[in-house]
A = this chain, B = another copy of it.
Amino acid sequence: MRGMLSFLIMWFLSKRPMYGEEIAQELEKMKGSKPTPGTIYPALKHLQNNGLITSRKDGRNIIYSLTEKGTTTSKKAFEYFCIMFEPVFRDCIKAKNLKKN
């Protein structure tokens, strides 16, 4: 249940490397509200400390990307997430179809 933010961050990074602000913006698109730096950077640091992501400087940005370990972990977490929330998803689809009628 815990660690949804880290999960989403890794999911983003599985698409393409991003820097912190970019990740925050993606989350804003999703959630409607932008996480504050105090939310995003500690999470990134934590992921990095666990060897799941690496960072490299590019100009003023620090670009994060998944490590090999991170890729594996992210895939597993993704599969777990899919299975776990499948019943809710089905409900989402159902609700959507109902609205169409």
How many copies are assembled? 2
Question: Which of these binds chain B: A55-63, A65-73, A88-96?
Answer: A88-96
A19, CB-defined interface residue at 8 Å: no
**Residue among B2, B5, B82, B92 making CB contact with A86, cutoff 8 Å:** B92
Cβ 8 A contact of A91, one of B31, B78, B88, B92: B78
Residues of A in contact, count (CB < 8 Å): 22
A81 at the interface (CB under 8 A from B): yes
Residues on B with beta carbons closer than 8 Å to the beta carbon of A87: 30
Chain A contact residues, CB within 8 Å of chain B:
1-2, 4-5, 8, 11, 30-31, 78-79, 81-82, 84-89, 91-92, 95-96
A-B contact pairs, 17 of them (CB 8 A): A1-B4, A1-B5, A1-B8, A11-B88, A11-B91, A30-B84, A30-B87, A31-B84, A78-B92, A78-B95, A79-B95, A81-B92, A82-B92, A82-B96, A85-B85, A85-B89, A89-B89
